[in-house]
Structure 1
Amino acid sequence: MVKTVHVAGAVIQNERGEILCALRSASMSMPGLWEFPGGKLEPGESPQSCLVREIKEELGCEIQVGELIADAEHEYPSIRVHLLTYYAVIVGGEPAAREHERLLWLPASRLFELEWAPADIPTVERLLS
Structure 2
Amino acid sequence: MIDVAAAIVTNEQGDVLIARRKAGKAQGGLWEFPGGKIEQGESVEACLKRELLEEMNIQIEPVAFFGMQKHAEGDTAIRLIAYTAKYIAGEIELVDHDACDWVEPIALTHYLFAPADRPFVSALAASQSRLPEA
TM-score (norm 2): 0.90
1:124 maps to which residue? 121
1:33 maps to which residue? 30
Aligned partners of 2:107 and 2:125 also within 8 Å? no
Gaps of 5+ in 1: none
1:80 aligns with 2:77: yes
1:17 aligns with 2:17: no
State the Cα deviation string for residues 8-60 of structure 1 (Å, max 9, x = none). Answer: 00011111111111001024201010000000000010110000000000010
Aligned positions of 1:1-129 closer than 5 A: 4-129=1-126
How far residue 128 of structure 1 moved from its aligned partner, in angstroms, is 2.5
In 2, the alpha carbon distance for the partners of 1:92 and 1:104 equals: 16
Q: Percent identity?
A: 37
In 1, the alpha carbon distance for the partners of 2:72 and 2:54 equals: 26
How far residue 123 of structure 1 moved from its aligned partner, in angstroms, is 1.0
Gaps of 5+ in 2: 127-134
In 1, the alpha carbon distance for the partners of 2:14 and 2:120 equals: 16
Q: Provide the aligned C-alpha RMSD in A.
A: 1.0
TM-score (norm 1): 0.93
In 1, the alpha carbon distance for the partners of 2:95 and 2:13 equals: 24
In 2, the alpha carbon distance for the partners of 1:8 and 1:112 equals: 21
